[in-house]
């Protein structure tokens, strides 16, 4: 988080002030003192950067049909004495694509779907939570009842059902175009409850405080109070939930893609790569499925550890 | 308290009706049911007659009522793919899913609770730290990847265990069991571990947190002051009091075990309901999808209801709280 700010060279007064405040903050202190946080944030950043600059970083373009050669198919990793090829560090898959490059392009898809679903959940959950907590009454009771019911089903099941049903309802061609959005919608809708519950609780507490009352007395509209006054006070917990939710969203996407109901096969995510490789497990080509698997676990573990650290750092009880 | 139960019952019925409505909408509006039943050379008149005879021209509510009534009796029509009654297909596959889920649940409890107690009592021990780190990795490992890794090591490299199917099963009337044959038991090992691992880490962390909480309370300190042996304090006083949340969470997790069985079943080609559902999605086999939707919702509603009631029975404090809360 800090490093992207540092890269920015336009130094205005407000900016330096903000930077100074950031480096003096408890969060930065706790971050510097925690090796786990530094390593996990580093790994996550490496994934983000590799995914963002995939065409530059990846040694090959696995989706350029002219560049791949079927003669290179099923090559083991480069350190294999007999068939290893130094061009392909961790081997190639059944179509002769470089596994490392497909992983880099694949994590791009996984991260995009993960981020988009988290953003969708976050906006939906925070909005419903704010309204529910601030307005109260019947609306609150209704929203929370729906949340209760949804919470009694596992998120992955809801995502699977929505995605599966959408798949069979839509005509095949239409679904191929919309598969991404359907997937993001399915994963996103399965995760809003956590945000809504947390935000609702905070909104109910803030609502009765004097500064909100003051804002109401001077005639500020309800929507403005919610966004400008209450929302900034609930960002901490929301940030923690979002980080951990990102890990869950990435796993959910990978699982759905593994089951064959996720992203379309033309744009494989990490889950799709594992699914493809799984067919070759028995013939001994373990690298096609194991390396995308390792990439997935490392990414999710790093994001999880970052979330754990953030939760502890923002928790006033633990300071 | 009666009010609370009635409220929960009404909520359950609403959930079931909503799910049934979705299932019905799938049935009625995805494609034309008549097209799925007749051949190419059926005339328009014959189609209309069939439509009238099957009641597809009736008002929506009448049709939905008929569907809900049939579902309640377990009638979901014929599978498009298998050309057999969905009821029979589910009856064949239910034992496989339930056996797998039960074994996993028992495994998760039998390993998770002792690990949780141990990590709570020896907070800084080497083994405790190892368990805690492993559990974090366990949370980050997707279920299907655990299955693949197990298959790679024990199926492909070591060749100890079968990698797909249920092995030989014994047919006892309306139930088929894999418990009675060696190959059935061997086939059970990897899928049940795969399915249990996530729940195991969850139960371990829960028991640990609850134990730490209870060990701080006055009555535990008092029991120590009375000079009771550690064993008695830890197990008779502390562990007993952690069991209420553990029972609840385990009960609720039973539902997610059945849901996660979809993933495990497709990794191991386990012939259960989850695998059938995933295949039905691929084939757009609506009757099976609708039946699975209704069935899984029913499972969850029943489990939630039972857990809520158990909660009231197990923890007397809640009864008072609820009663006063409802009385206001």
A305 touches chain B (CB under 8 A): yes
Residues 253-292 of B with CB under 8 A from A: 255-256, 259-260, 262-263, 266-267, 277-278, 281-282, 284, 286, 289
Compare all CA atoms of chain B with the CA of A172 and give the residue at the minimum distance: B284
Q: What is the pLDDT of residue B31?
A: 62
Please count the CA atoms within 13 angstroms of the CA of A204 that sit on its side-chain side. 12
CA distance A209 to A205: 7
Q: Are B277 and B285 in contact (CB under 8 A)?
A: no
φ/ψ of B85, rounded to 5, equals -60, 135
Compare all CA atoms of chain B with the CA of A299 and give the residue at the minimum distance: B140
User: Is the pLDDT score of B317 beyond 80?
Assistant: no
Tokens 């929507």 map to which residue? A223
Distance from CA of B156 to the nearest CA of A (A): 6
Q: Are A303 and A110 in contact (CB under 8 A)?
A: no
CB atoms under 10 Å from CB of B141, counted, come to 20
Q: Are B178 and B167 in contact (CB under 8 A)?
A: yes
Helices (H), chain B: 2-29, 33-37, 44-53, 60-72, 86-121, 126-140, 143-150, 182-215, 218-225, 230-231, 240-268, 273-283, 286-314, 316-327
Q: What is the pLDDT of residues A188-204, one digit of tens each?
A: 998 899 999 989 988 88
Q: What is the pLDDT of residues B43-64, one digit of tens each?
A: 777 777 777 777 777 777 788 8
Distance from CA of B174 to the nearest CA of A (A): 28
CB contact under 8 Å between A274 and B144, yes or no, is yes
B120 touches chain A (CB under 8 A): no
**Beta-bridge mates of residue A98:** A92
Q: Are A133 and A140 in contact (CB under 8 A)?
A: yes
Tokens of B207: 């028991």
Q: Spell out the domains of chain A, with CATH numbers in brackets.
A: 34-318 (1.10.3720.10)
A284 touches chain B (CB under 8 A): yes
CB contact under 8 Å between B152 and A290, yes or no, is yes
- Residue among A149, A281, A300 minimizing CB distance to B140: A300
- The DSSP code for A265 is T
Handedness of CA B64, A156, B156, A82 (dihedral sign): positive
Q: What is the pLDDT of residues B204-261, one digit of tens each?
A: 888 888 888 888 888 888 888 888 888 777 877 778 777 777 877 777 788 788 888 8
Q: What percent of chain A has pLDDT over 70?
A: 87
Q: What is the pLDDT of residues B78-108, one digit of tens each?
A: 777 777 888 888 888 888 898 999 999 999 9
Q: Are B108 and B196 in contact (CB under 8 A)?
A: yes
**What element of type H or E holds A24?**
helix A13-24
For residue A308, which residues of chain B lie inside 8 Å, CB to CB?
136
Q: What is the pLDDT of residues B267-304, one digit of tens each?
A: 898 888 889 988 888 777 788 888 888 888 888 888 88
CB contact under 8 Å between A297 and B255, yes or no, is no
pTM of the model: 0.83
B26 touches chain A (CB under 8 A): yes
- For every one of its 319 residues, what pLDDT tens digit does chain A have, with 9 covering 90 and above? 444 444 444 556 677 777 777 777 777 777 878 888 889 899 999 989 988 888 887 777 777 766 677 667 767 776 766 666 667 667 777 777 788 888 888 899 999 999 999 999 999 999 999 999 888 888 888 888 888 878 877 888 888 888 877 877 777 777 777 888 888 999 999 889 999 998 998 888 888 888 888 888 888 888 888 888 888 888 888 888 898 899 999 999 999 998 888 888 778 888 888 888 888 877 777 888 888 899 999 999 999 888 888 888 877 655 4
Report how far apart, in Å, the C-alpha atoms of B159 and of each of A76, A126, A148, B168, B281 are.
22, 51, 46, 18, 32
For residue B296, which residues of chain A lie inside 8 Å, CB to CB?
157
**Beta-bridge mates of residue B175:** B172
Surface-to-core class of residue B305, CB atoms within 10 Å of its CB (0-12 exposed, 13-18 middle, 19+ buried): middle
For residue A288, which residues of chain B lie inside 8 Å, CB to CB?
none
CA distance B119 to B110: 15
Tokens 């981020």 map to which residue? A115
Q: Spell out the domains of chain B, with CATH numbers in brackets.
A: 86-283 (1.10.3720.10)
Helix/strand/coil (H/E/C) assignment for every residue in B158-217 = CCCCCCCCCCCCEEECCEEECCCCHHHHHHHHHHHHHHHHHHHHHHHHHHHHHHHHHHCC
Tokens 């259960």 map to which residue? B272
For residue B282, which residues of chain A lie inside 8 Å, CB to CB?
260
Chosen for mutation from B97, B138, B144 (greatest number of chain A CBs closer than 10 Å) is B144
């Amino acid at each position: 988080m800090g490093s992207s700010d540092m890269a920015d060279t336009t130094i205005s007064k407000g900016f330096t002030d903000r930077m100074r405040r950031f480096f003096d903050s408890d969060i930065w202190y706790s971050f510097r003192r925690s090796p786990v946080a530094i390593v996990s944030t580093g790994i996550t950043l490496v994934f983000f950067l590799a995914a963002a600059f995939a065409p530059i970083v990846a040694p090959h373009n696995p989706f350029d049909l002219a560049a791949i050669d079927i003669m290179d198919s099923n090559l083991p990793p480069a350190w294999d004495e007999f068939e290893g090829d130094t061009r392909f560090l961790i081997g190639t898959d059944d179509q002769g694509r470089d596994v490392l490059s497909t992983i880099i392009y694949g994590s791009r898809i996984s991260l995009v779907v993960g981020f988009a679903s988290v953003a969708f959940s976050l906006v939906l959950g925070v909005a419903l939570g704010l309204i529910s907590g601030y307005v109260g009454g019947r609306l609150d009771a209704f929203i929370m009842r729906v949340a209760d019911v949804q919470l009694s089903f596992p998120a992955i099941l809801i995502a699977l059902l929505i995605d599966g049903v959408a798949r069979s309802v839509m005509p095949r061609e239409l679904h191929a175009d919309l598969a991404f959005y359907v997937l993001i919608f399915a994963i996103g809708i399965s995760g809003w409850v956590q945000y809504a519950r947390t935000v609702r609780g905070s909104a109910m507490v803030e609502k009765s405080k004097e500064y909100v009352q003051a804002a109401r007395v001077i005639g500020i509209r309800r929507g403005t109070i919610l966004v400008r006054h209450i929302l900034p006070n609930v960002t901490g917990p929301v940030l923690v939930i979002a980080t951990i939710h990102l890990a869950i969203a990435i796993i959910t996407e990978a699982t759905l893609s593994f089951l064959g109901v996720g992203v379309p096969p033309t744009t494989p995510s990490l889950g799709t790569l594992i699914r493809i490789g799984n067919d070759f497990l028995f013939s001994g080509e373990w690298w096609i499925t194991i390396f995308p698997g390792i990439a997935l676990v490392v990414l999710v573990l790093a994001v999880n550890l970052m979330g754990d650290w953030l939760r502890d750092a923002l928790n006033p009880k633990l300071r | 308290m009666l009010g609370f139960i009635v409220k929960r019952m009404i909520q359950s019925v609403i959930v079931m009706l909503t799910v049934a409505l979705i299932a019905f909408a799938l049935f009625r509006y995805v494609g034309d049911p008549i097209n799925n039943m007749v051949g190419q050379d059926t005339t328009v008149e014959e189609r209309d007659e069939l439509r009238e005879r099957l009641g597809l021209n009736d008002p929506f509510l009448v049709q939905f009522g008929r569907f809900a009534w049939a579902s309640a009796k377990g009638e979901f029509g014929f599978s498009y793919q298998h050309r057999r009654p969905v009821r029979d297909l589910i009856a064949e596959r239910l034992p496989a899913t339930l056996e797998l889920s039960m074994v996993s649940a028992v495994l998760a409890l039998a390993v998770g609770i002792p690990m949780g107690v141990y990590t709570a009592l020896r907070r800084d021990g080497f083994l405790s730290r190892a368990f805690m780190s492993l559990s974090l990795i366990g949370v980050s490992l997707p279920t299907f990847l655990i299955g693949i890794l197990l298959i790679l090591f024990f199926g492909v490299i070591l060749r100890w265990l079968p990698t797909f199917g249920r092995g030989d099963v014994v047919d006892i009337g309306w139930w088929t069991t894999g418990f009675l044959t060696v190959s059935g038991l061997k086939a059970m090992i990897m899928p049940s571990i795969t399915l249990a691992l996530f729940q195991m880490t969850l139960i371990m962390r829960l028991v640990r947190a609850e134990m730490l909480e209870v060990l701080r309370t006055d009555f535990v300190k008092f029991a120590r002051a009375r000079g009771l042996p550690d064993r008695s304090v830890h197990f008779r006083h502390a562990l007993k009091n952690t069991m209420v949340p553990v029972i609840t969470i385990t009960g609720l997790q039973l539902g997610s075990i059945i849901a996660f069985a979809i993933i495990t079943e497709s990794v191991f080609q386990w012939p259960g309901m989850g695998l059938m559902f995933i295949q039905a999605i691929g084939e757009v086999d609506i009757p099976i999808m609708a039946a699975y939707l209704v069935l899984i919702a029913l499972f969850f509603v029943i489990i939630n209801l039972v857990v809520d009631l158990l909660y009231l029975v197990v923890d007397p404090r809640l009864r008072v709280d609820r009663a006063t809360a409802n009385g206001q």
